[in-house]
Amino acid sequence: MNNIVVLPMVIPLLVGIILIFLRSYVKVQRVLSLIAVIATGIVSIYILNVIQSEGILRLDFGGWLPPYGILFVADSFSVLLVLTTAIVSTIILLYAFSTIGAVRENMYFYSFVLFLIAGVNGSFLTGDLFNLFVCFEVMLLASYVLITLGGRKVQLVESIKYVVINILSSWFFLLGIAYLYGSVGTLNMAHLSERIAEVGQGPLLTTISLIFLVVFSLKSGLLLYFWLPGSYSVPPTAIAALFGALLTKVGIYAMFRTFTLIFYHEPSITHTLIGIMAAITMIGGSIGAIAYKDVRQIVTYNVVITIGFILVGLAVSTEVAIMGSIYYLVHDMIIKALLFLLAGTMIYLTGTSRIEDMSGLIRNYPVLGWLFFLTTLSLAGIPPLSGFIGKLYVGQGAVEAGSYTLLAIAFLSSMFVLYSLLQIFMNAFWGETIISEDEETPLKNRLLVPCIILGVATIALGIGAESIAGYVSDAAKTLMNPQIYIDAVMNGNR
Amino acid sequence: METLITILVGILVTVAVYLLLSRSLIRIIIGTAVLSHAVHLLLMVMGGLKKGSAPLLGENATSYTDPLPQALILTAIVISFAVTAFLLVLGYRTYQETGLDDSKELRGFTDE
């Protein structure tokens, strides 16, 4: 029992509620929301270190011991993601201060960002399947509001699609929960894992696991990503960056959790299917990324490719591959935020999102240009940067497991990532400048500084991979040995 | 009783799918509402419709009803209520802005 585990969800939630009453004080709202996300980050660093010394932490709400009550469980995997969420959202908030506009700031923008973060952190920390559903809904409702905030026509039209798709996937989630409760009689994840190991994962339970696969694929955009490009390209930059960095990752997290902790007995069916879906996702994403000439579309299709790549690690399911996926997940949250911010800044500077209409931006804005180049290299996985180590481990895991087709598709898709981003770089940054000195929109430092911080973060994560190596390998070990998690939840009645 | 409600769930899902596949926006919204009610009933049935007494500590009944499905449904109903309310407002605002209630015509809408 450790009450600190609940703080990453409670801090943003409480501050978000307080901010509702401070609607007209925009400056106060900014400061408070920034303090809230930074506090979440500090708390999660503390929790991460406590886990290393004391093992997995658990908080039983109301003192009801598992499996009777609902609970929060913090292991290295979830807290690493909570920490990354805090870092990324801090920087995106910095960017939002100067770009989001007074209209949105007055319409509870910061409250909803904090609710979104509360939902994301709750999903990472919960140890109960129904609680996961509730936290998903908290996050999704906040995201519905954020995507429609401002009420431009195109936003409204795209968000209807997004909302209906998510209602359907929530419906499937409840369906899966109902069937699972009917057949096993519990919803506590550790207890579920224990019981399924006892009765064996028969055809019925495998079918139920496939329902969960559909649900989390819809949330994370694995194969079922058709809703993603539209809805991620309509909201303003800061919100799109928040979505690109956080929302799909929650689905990926849930998929890792369920398929390593609960339904790991029939890998020949479930994990093979995940592998096939990951491969198709990467192929589809690659086609999308090179097909469009619109910066926003290219960037959102890059999100799709990455989802496929991370899930290769789960499909292969060796400890090394899982480690690679975790590294890549952390890297991707940072670099996708950076990519979305850069794309948004380019659109802000040129007033267009088509790459044919931009040229020679690097002459006007050299720092922006080199940052974009850095992002390209990092996403492609060039060694000193953060993408490399994840790709290396995923590749190594795939070789160990002998899945060479997946490996080939995964690395070919990296080529397409490189190609699609270099296409933006060559078209928009290289060549003759078409903006003359006096037409030049000044690039404010307030826009550039968050991007630079994220750029430094990707270099630091690449060079200083050692510093998080201990946490990552601990997370991978817990994921590959469900017994550790079960023991911590069911037996460690501290 | 369980069989009856299972059949009812099936009928509700059929109705909801029919509504969801129609072109009118308001029908789609009603479809999602019906769909979530169907799954709430399913949650209830999967927990088992038992005839025990209320699950209270300290009473001496021979059998107790499982309280968990009810707690789950209550939460799920609140959530679906909120989402339906949001979706209704969203549909109304979209109709106000675009003057369209047809999902086919709304497709690929890029006009600012």
User: Hey, are the CB atoms on A153 and B43 less than 8 Å from each other?
Assistant: no
pLDDT 10s digits, A339-377? 999 999 999 888 888 888 888 888 888 899 999 999 999
Among chain B, residues having any CB pair with chain A shorter than 8 Å are 20, 25, 28, 32, 35-36, 39-40, 42-43, 45-48, 68-69, 72, 75-76, 79, 82-83, 86-87, 90-91, 93-94, 97-98, 103, 106, 109-112
What SS3 class is residue A180?
helix
Residue B110: its pLDDT value, please?
Answer: 60
Query: Does an H or E element contain A327, and which?
Result: helix A319-350
Question: Does pLDDT of A437 surpass 80?
Answer: no
Our CA-based measurement puts residue A155 at a distance from the nearest CA of chain B, in whole angstroms, of: 9
- Residue-wise DSSP of A46-88: HHHHHHHHH--EEEEGGGPPTTTS-EEEE-HHHHHHHHHHHHH
Q: Which of A48-52, A214-218, A363-367, A421-425 has the weakest average pLDDT?
A: A363-367
User: Hey, are the CB atoms on B25 and A163 less than 8 Å from each other?
Assistant: no
Please name which of A118, A109, A113 lies closest in space to residue A40, comparing C-alpha atoms. Answer: A118
Alpha-carbon distance A344 to A149, whole Å?
17
A3 to A8, A58, A150, B22: CA distances (angstroms): 11, 8, 38, 49
Our CA-based measurement puts residue A344 at a distance from the nearest CA of chain B, in whole angstroms, of: 18
Please name which of B111, B77, B76 lies closest in space to residue B97, comparing C-alpha atoms. Answer: B111
CA B89, B94, B100, B101 torsion: positive or negative? Answer: negative
Q: Is the peptide bond before A67 cis (omega within 30 degrees of 0)?
A: yes
Q: Name which of B74, B86, B104 to mutate to probe chain A: the one with the most chain A Cβ atoms within 10 A of its Cβ.
A: B86
Residue B109: its pLDDT value, please?
Answer: 62
CA A166, A167, A170, A175 torsion: positive or negative? Answer: negative
Q: What is the mean pLDDT of residues A285-300?
A: 91
Our CA-based measurement puts residue B5 at a distance from the nearest CA of chain A, in whole angstroms, of: 14
pLDDT 10s digits, A152-167? 888 888 899 899 999 9
Q: What are the chain B neighbours of A137 within 8 Å (beta carbons)? A: 79, 83
CA A17 to centroid of chain Cα atoms: 24
What residues does A188 pair with on adjacent strands?
Answer: A128
Question: Does pLDDT of A31 surpass 90?
Answer: yes
Q: Name which of A153, A154, A294, A352 to mutate to probe chain B: the one with the most chain B Cβ atoms within 10 A of its Cβ.
A: A153
Contact A88, A333 (CB under 8 A): yes
Residue B102: its pLDDT value, please?
Answer: 79
Q: What is the mean pLDDT of residues A44-72?
A: 88
Residue A191: its pLDDT value, please?
Answer: 92
Question: Does pLDDT of A492 surpass 70?
Answer: no
Q: Give the pairing type, strands A71-74 and A57-60.
A: antiparallel
Return the biggest CA–CA distance within chain B. Answer: 67
Size of interface A-B (CB pairs under 8 A): 95
Burial class (CB in 10 A: 0-12, 13-18, 19+), A180: buried
CB atoms within 10 A of CB B41: 17
User: Hey, are the CB atoms on B83 and A167 less than 8 Å from each other?
Assistant: yes
Our CA-based measurement puts residue A232 at a distance from the nearest CA of chain B, in whole angstroms, of: 14
Alpha-carbon distance B98 to A159, whole Å?
14
Q: What are the chain B neighbours of A181 within 8 Å (beta carbons)? A: 43, 46-47, 68-69, 72
| Helix A109-125 × helix A129-148 angle, to 10° | 160
Question: Which of A137, A153, A187 is nearest residue B98 as measured by Cβ atoms?
Answer: A153
Q: Name which of A70, A147, A160 to mutate to probe chain B: the one with the most chain B Cβ atoms within 10 A of its Cβ.
A: A160
B99 to A153, B21, B96: CA distances (angstroms): 11, 21, 6
User: Hey, are the CB atoms on A167 and B106 less than 8 Å from each other?
Assistant: no
Residue A211: its pLDDT value, please?
Answer: 95
- Residue in chain A closest to B79 (alpha carbons) equals A137
Alpha-carbon distance A273 to A418, whole Å?
27
Alpha-carbon distance A306 to A308, whole Å?
5
Q: What are the chain B neighbours of A151 within 8 Å (beta carbons)? A: 93, 97
Give me A248's structure tokens.
């799909």
Residue A429: its pLDDT value, please?
Answer: 87
Alpha-carbon distance A330 to A334, whole Å?
7
User: Hey, are the CB atoms on B109 and A154 less than 8 Å from each other?
Assistant: yes
Alpha-carbon distance A190 to A136, whole Å?
19
User: Hey, are the CB atoms on A170 and B86 less than 8 Å from each other?
Assistant: no
User: Hey, are the CB atoms on A156 and B94 less than 8 Å from each other?
Assistant: yes
Task: Indicate yes or no: pTM above 0.90.
Answer: yes
Question: Does pLDDT of A491 surpass 80?
Answer: no
Contact A67, A242 (CB under 8 A): no
Residue B112: its pLDDT value, please?
Answer: 46
Alpha-carbon distance A226 to A170, whole Å?
17
Q: Which of A9-13, A121-125, B58-62 has the weakest average pLDDT?
A: B58-62
State what percent of residues in chain A have pLDDT above 70. Answer: 99
| Whole-angstrom Cα Rg for chain A | 22
Question: Which of A157, A171, A178 is nearest residue B35 as measured by Cβ atoms?
Answer: A171
CB atoms within 10 A of CB A345: 24
Alpha-carbon distance A79 to A74, whole Å?
6
Question: Does pLDDT of A46 surpass 60?
Answer: yes
Alpha-carbon distance B82 to A240, whole Å?
23
Q: What are the chain B neighbours of A156 within 8 Å (beta carbons)? A: 90, 93-94, 97-98
User: Hey, are the CB atoms on A154 and B69 less than 8 Å from each other?
Assistant: no
What residues does A71 pair with on adjacent strands?
Answer: A60
User: Hey, are the CB atoms on B110 and A168 less than 8 Å from each other?
Assistant: no
Residue B64: its pLDDT value, please?
Answer: 78
Burial class (CB in 10 A: 0-12, 13-18, 19+), A335: buried
- Residue in chain B closest to A69 (alpha carbons) equals B68
Question: Which of A141, A157, A187 is nearest residue B82 as measured by Cβ atoms?
Answer: A141
Instruction: Enter the ipTM.
Output: 0.93
Residue A493: its pLDDT value, please?
Answer: 54
Question: Which of B35, B82, B90 is nearest residue A156 as measured by Cβ atoms?
Answer: B90
Query: Does an H or E element contain B70, and which?
Result: helix B68-98
A492 to A7, A60, A66: CA distances (angstroms): 21, 12, 10
